């Protein structure tokens, strides 16, 4: 059965459809919303090998023509070179503004294709077909698109909302286990931000979520509802949307400290450690109970996610250098550090004046 979650953005509102079989039904679902549309499918080689033929057929079944643009997998594809390749591909297919760029892939493909759709012909239609768990629960929802610069990640981009998101849960069967687990960190994140009942549900039902079926669809739908709610309140991240960065300040620092080497740490794993640290740090600041920090650590350990710095293979820079990575993170303003901290499970808040000295001694203790 398909679950629909609506993202309430006025005249740009759109549906997120979640469930099995959506690739096969994609033509009908897209044609209903964008009659007469032509498409370019942007994807990577891994996803193309498993799902491009079915998508091409699914679109054709709804009378939709498509041209594939297949890129190399991996974070390096969020680059100016790859952007140019997508732009050239879309233009040489002679697509017009009313036509659509379809992103079939993980967050890398969604961010890149969405950015291309946002700038070609001053903004074309865009359809997200997320294929990683992370993309289904996070990156495909909310309209942030972009690429990396030599100065840092995600520094070049636009807000460009999709017209529809089709999250086919069946495609997750071909996703490598480690990528699924990493995406699960973002699922748990929504519980920890402001949905304590959802976190408790995950503590009981995570095995079923990993196994697939209805529990998986339910977890993805709950996550999309949580994100859609925040995005509808604060589309352009002038306030509340920053809550979605729970675990990301420490997490980004660890990703940078490990040289973005996916053999050592992928994004979701950094977020898992970051969320555990955010709870432990909140306990150290006497904002939350140490029992809540322990509960978060225990759940991450149960699903076999890393939860402390010692879980990262190989040497890490010392606490001072780690603080340097945190201070380079964009959520820093004038010496005071901004963190997402918590008063307990599901009670996260934005703390804008965290003294760097507190962070440093915490990092020393937990290194
Ligand atoms: P990814 O796109 O690199 O996908 C992970 C790996 O899984 C890749 O090797 C990919 O080829 C493979 N893959 C994806 N789906 C597959 C499938 N169904 N079967 C087999 N293999 C499959 O990475 P990701 O974790 O999906 O996304 C990470 C990116 O998302 C980062 O660049 C991050 O900055 C971005 N992001 C964006 C937002 C946003 O709001 N726009 C939010 C969070 C993350
Ligand atoms: Zn994230």
pLDDT by position in tens, the chain (length 367)? 899 999 999 999 999 999 999 999 999 999 999 999 999 999 999 999 999 999 999 999 999 999 999 999 999 999 999 999 999 999 999 999 999 999 999 999 999 999 999 999 999 999 999 999 999 999 999 999 999 999 888 999 999 999 999 999 999 999 999 999 999 999 999 999 999 999 999 999 999 999 999 999 999 999 999 999 999 999 999 999 999 999 999 999 999 999 989 999 999 999 999 999 999 999 999 999 999 999 999 999 999 999 999 999 999 999 999 999 998 765 554 568 999 999 999 999 999 999 999 999 999 999 8
Write down the catalytic residue from 195, 241, 280, 299: 241
Q: Tell whether 230 and 144 lie within a shared domain.
A: no
Closest among 225, 235, 218, 220 to 6, alpha carbons compared: 225
Alpha-carbon span 174 to 163, nearest angstrom: 26
Residue that is last in its domain, among 174, 197, 217: 174
Q: Tell whether 326 and 183 lie within a shared domain.
A: yes
pLDDT of residue 152: 84
Q: Which residue is closest in CA terms to ligand 1's atom 1?
A: 106
Q: What is the CATH number of the domain that holds 335?
A: 1.20.1090.10
Q: Is residue 186 annotated as involved in ligand binding?
A: yes
Write down the catalytic residue from 78, 85, 125, 144: 144
pLDDT of residue 65: 98
Q: Tell whether 242 and 166 lie within a shared domain.
A: no
Write down the catalytic residue from 29, 85, 179, 186: 186
Q: Tell whether 330 and 228 lie within a shared domain.
A: yes
Q: What is the CATH number of the domain that holds 162?
A: 3.40.50.1970
- Sign, CA dihedral 58-9-147-256, equals negative
Ligand 1 pocket, residue 255 CB under 6 Å: no
φ, ψ for residue 140, nearest 5 deg: -80, -10
Q: Which residue from 55, 107, 174, 267 has its CB within 8 A of the most atoms of ligand 1, so it is best to mutate? A: 107
Q: Tell whether 241 and 348 lie within a shared domain.
A: yes
Work out how many domains the chain is built from and give that number. 2
Q: Tell whether 192 and 237 lie within a shared domain.
A: yes
Q: Tell whether 170 and 184 lie within a shared domain.
A: no
Ligand 1 pocket, residue 142 CB under 6 Å: yes
Instruction: Please state the pTM of the whole predicted model.
Output: 0.96
- Full domain range(s) for residue 157: 3-174
241 catalytic per annotation: yes
pLDDT of residue 336: 81
Q: Tell whether 218 and 272 lie within a shared domain.
A: yes
Q: Tell whether 193 and 137 lie within a shared domain.
A: no
pLDDT of residue 153: 87
Q: Tell whether 221 and 361 lie within a shared domain.
A: yes
CA atoms within 13 A on the CB side of 56: 13
255 catalytic per annotation: no
Q: Tell whether 103 and 182 lie within a shared domain.
A: no
DSSP string, 340-356: EEESSTT-EEEEEEE-H
Residue that is last in its domain, among 131, 146, 174: 174
Angle (nearest 5°) at CA 232 between 184 and 74: 40
Q: Tell whether 185 and 168 lie within a shared domain.
A: no
Q: Which residue is closest in CA terms to ligand 1's atom 27?
A: 107
Residue that is last in its domain, among 174, 202, 224: 174
Alpha-carbon span 276 to 266, nearest angstrom: 16
Alpha helices in 239-303 (DSSP H): 248-257, 267-284, 290-302
Query: ipTM beyond 0.90?
Result: yes
List, in order, residues 6 or more apart from 176 with CB less than 8 Å away.
Answer: none
């Amino acid at each position: 059965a398909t679950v629909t979650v609506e993202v309430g953005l006025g005249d740009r509102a759109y549906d997120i459809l979640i469930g099995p079989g959506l690739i096969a039904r994609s033509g009908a679902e897209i044609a209903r919303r964008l009659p007469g549309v032509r498409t370019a499918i942007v994807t990577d080689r891994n996803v193309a090998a498993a799902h491009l033929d079915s998508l091409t057929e699914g679109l054709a079944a709804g009378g939709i023509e498509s041209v594939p643009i297949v890129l190399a997998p991996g974070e390096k594809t969020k680059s100016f070179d790859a952007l140019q390749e997508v732009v050239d591909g879309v233009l040489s297919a002679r697509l017009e503004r009313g036509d659509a760029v379809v992103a079939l892939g993980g967050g890398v493909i969604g961010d890149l294709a969405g950015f291309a759709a946002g700038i070609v012909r001053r903004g074309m239609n865009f359809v997200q077909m997320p294929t990683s768990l992370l993309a289904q629960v996070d990156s495909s929802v909310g309209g942030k698109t972009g690429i990396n610069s030599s100065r840092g990640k995600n520094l070049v981009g636009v807000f460009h909302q999709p017209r529809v998101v089709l999250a086919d849960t069946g495609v997750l069967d071909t996703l490598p286990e480690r990528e699924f687990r990493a995406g699960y960190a973002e699922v748990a994140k929504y519980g920890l931000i402001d949905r304590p009942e959802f976190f408790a549900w995950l503590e009981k039902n995570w095995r079923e979520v990993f196994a697939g079926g209805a529990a998986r669809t339910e977890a993805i739908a709950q996550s999309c509802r949580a994100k859609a709610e925040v995005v509808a309140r604060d589309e352009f991240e002038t306030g509340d949307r920053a809550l979605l960065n729970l675990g990301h300040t420490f997490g980004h620092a660890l990703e940078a400290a490990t040289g973005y080497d996916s053999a050592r740490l992928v994004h979701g794993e950094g977020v898992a450690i970051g969320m555990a640290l955010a709870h432990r740090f909140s306990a150290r600041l006497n904002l939350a109970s140490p029992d809540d920090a322990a509960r978060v650590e225990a759940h991450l350990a149960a699903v076999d996610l890393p939860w402390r710095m010692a879980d990262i293979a190989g040497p890490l820079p010392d606490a001072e250098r780690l603080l340097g990575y945190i201070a380079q993170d964009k959520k820093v303003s004038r010496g005071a550090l901004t963190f997402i901290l918590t008063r307990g499970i599901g009670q996260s808040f934005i703390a804008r004046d965290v003294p760097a000295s507190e962070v440093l001694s915490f990092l020393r203790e937990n290194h």
